Amino acid sequence: MRSELSEPTVYRLCVVLRILEELRSKQIVISSSELSKYTNTTAYTLRKDFSLLSGVASSKSGYDIENLIFCIKSKLDIGIAKYAAIAGLGRIGMAILNYTDSRIKGYDIVAGFDASVNKLETLHTDIPLYPAYDIEDIVRELKIKLAVIAVPADKAQEIALRFIKGGVEGIINFAPVIIKTDVDTVYIKNIDLVTEFNFLSSIVKTKGE
C-alpha cells in the first residue's frame, strides 16, 4: 500500500500528523494554508501529499482534523506497535525507556541493553534488560525492528552492527558519532544535541557582529 510514497512525502506527513495531534483539542478543521504556515511546506505540496491518502474528507473551510489524523495513521501504519529496543542505559537511554507518552505509543519497547551487567542489576524498570553481548540473539528472537542507541561514542558503530545483524531496520542514534551502514535496507538517523548547540553557537558568532 505505502510503497508509492516517497521518503520526503512520508516525512512531511509525519510532521503534519504531529501538528494535528497538538491542535486537535483546540480546533476541528484546518485549511491547507494554515497547515502550510506550521510546516514550512507549500499548501499545494500538502494537498498533493493528502491526495495520496485514502478517504480524506475536506470542505470549503478545510480538512477535518480527526479524519486527517486517521487517514495519515492508516496509510503510514502509525499506531500499530512495532517492537523496539534501547542500548545504553545512561541518562538519555533511561529517559527514553521510561518515556511512556501516548504520542509514541506506536512503539513497544521490549528490551533494554547495557554493557555493564552490574548496572543492569541496579536498574528498576518493567522492561526486560539484557547484557549488550546478547543483542543479536534477543533482536532475532523478539523480532525487534527499531533500535535506539545511546552508548558511548567508541561503542556505537559496533552496537549498531549487532542490531542490524539481528534484523533491525531502523536506528535512532544519540551517540556523538555518525553511524553508517552499507546495508541500504537500514535507515539511520543521527541526533546529537550538544553538536547542534555548538554549531548554533558558532554560527551565531559568525553572523553576529
Query: Applying CB under 8 A, which residues contact a copy of itself?
Result: 2-3, 5, 7, 10-11, 13-15, 17-19, 22-23, 26, 37-41, 76-78, 82, 95, 101, 103-104, 106-107, 145-146, 152-154, 157, 169-172, 176-178, 180, 185, 187, 189, 191-208
Task: Read off the C-alpha cell for 62.
Answer: 478545510
* Minimum CB–partner distance for residue 43 and a copy of itself (Å): 14
Closer to a copy of itself at the Cβ: 14 or 117? 14
Q: Which residue has the cell 484546518?
A: 30
Closer to a copy of itself at the Cβ: 125 or 201? 201
What distance lies between CA 6 and its chain's CA centroid? 17
Closer to a copy of itself at the Cβ: 51 or 206? 206
Give bridge partners of residue 111 from the DSSP assignment.
Answer: 85
Spatial distance between the Cα atoms of 150 and 146, rounded to a whole number of angstroms? 13
Closer to a copy of itself at the Cβ: 118 or 194? 194
* Minimum CB–partner distance for residue 182 and a copy of itself (Å): 12
Give bridge partners of residue 107 from the DSSP assignment.
Answer: 82
* Minimum CB–partner distance for residue 142 and a copy of itself (Å): 15
Q: Contact 18/25 with Cβ under 8 angstroms?
A: no
Residue 60 CB partners (closer than 8 Å, separation 6+): none
